[in-house]
Amino acid sequence: MVIDALRSFAQKNNIIAGACHAAPLEKARLLASPFVPFVSSDIEKRTNPDKTLSGVESIIVIGVGAGDVFSKAFLEKGSIAQLSSLGIDDDYHVKVKNLLRELADELKQIYGEFRYKILVDGSGLDERALAHRAGLGFFGRNGLIISSKFGSRFNIGCMLTDIPLEDVVLSDDITTSCPPDCRLCIDACPGGALGSDYLNAKRCVSYLTQKDDLTEEEAALLGQQLYGCDICQDVCPFNAPRKPAFVDPKLWLDMDDETFAREYGHTAMLWRGTKLLRRNAEIVRRNFDTD
């Protein structure tokens, strides 16, 4: 009955979903690329669900499609600084958490009271590995989970629970890996962060736009990326095209915190603070040597 409710919930909300067991995750993939920004360095917390919720039996994983195309592609003079989807879409943390809370309330009507823990972009468990285990998609060469419904343009949410569930895949995946000869994301990555079987997160431009201190080389790698970077997703053949968004970096240099909050408070972008955003705007301006 719980699985039927999960299937119905996924269809009603146009999301993908699955459920999997809560045994510890394999450590090999994380050990191969040990640096992951903004997460715990404790490999046990990253791989053992019981460290997050004691007595966990099962994990429900959902994938929520990124926002519809909502481009602020200002084409007037000076709009050279590019924003990723993080800078224009509604904050996915709020949307995904609300959906999981709604799902928990529905499951209580069927199962009764149960213990659970919701994770959305948390610092502990490897949520991409859980999405893979739950059958939402496969690991692409860009390090993201690629699904048949959304490509890689979706956000992951997990619900650890003490409800015992059998593994169930509710998505209709079309393949299990990237084409053997596809190197589009590897070749397009401006930081050279991607390889056939590894991710060097220290050279990921999306990370660099959120890093506190940048070397001159790292600042140059930003190019025109003001916040985040979607290049590896934009070139992926599994993803629908999305028009890029540009802004004028000079406007950001003069923008006060109140205006930032009004214009971009609905996004996930402000979590690192407006000081860092202004720094990035100055770097982009300098990279393009604009007055």
Positions marked active-site:
121
Residues 6+ apart with CB under 8 A from 34: none
Q: How far apart are CA 209 and CA 222, in angstroms?
A: 7
Question: What is the Cα–Cα distance from 148 to 167, expressed in whole angstroms?
Answer: 19
Spatial CA neighbour of 136 closest among 52, 15, 240: 15
Amino acid at 233: Q
DSSP 27: S
CA–CA distance, 146 with 126 (Å, rounded to integer): 16
Which amino acid is residue 52, in one-letter code?
T
Placement of tokens 């926002």 in the chain: 67
Cα 174 from Cα 53, distance rounded (Å):
33
First and final C-alpha spacing in the chain: 63
Per DSSP, what are the bridge partners of residue 60?
A: 19, 159
263-291 burial: b if 16+ Cβ within 10 Å, else e: ebeebbbbebebebbbbbbebbbebeeee
Q: Look up residue 237 and give its amino acid.
A: P
Instruction: Work out the angle at residue 62's Cα, subtended by the Cα atoms of residues 71 and 28, and round it to the nearest 5 degrees.
Output: 100
Give whole-number Cα distances, 130 to 25, 43, 87, 142, 270, in Å. Answer: 8, 15, 26, 17, 27
